[in-house]
Amino acid sequence: MRAGLVLLLLGVVLTGCTGPIGRACTEMAVMVDVRVDTTALDLPAGATGRVCLDDECTDVVVGADPLSFYPQGVWWGRDVPDLETVQISLTLADPAGTQLWAGSAAVDTEVVEPNGPGCGQTTVLPELHATPDGRLRT
Q: Is residue 11 part of a domain?
A: no
Count of structural domains, the chain: 1
Beta pairing class for 34-37 and 73-76: antiparallel
Q: Is residue 21 part of a domain?
A: no
pLDDT tens across the length of the chain (138 residues): 444 433 333 344 444 444 455 667 887 777 778 989 999 999 999 999 999 999 999 999 998 766 667 788 998 888 888 889 999 999 999 999 999 999 999 999 988 888 888 888 888 888 899 999 999 999
The CATH number for 108's domain is 2.60.40
Domain that holds residue 78: 28-137
Q: Is residue 62 part of a domain?
A: yes
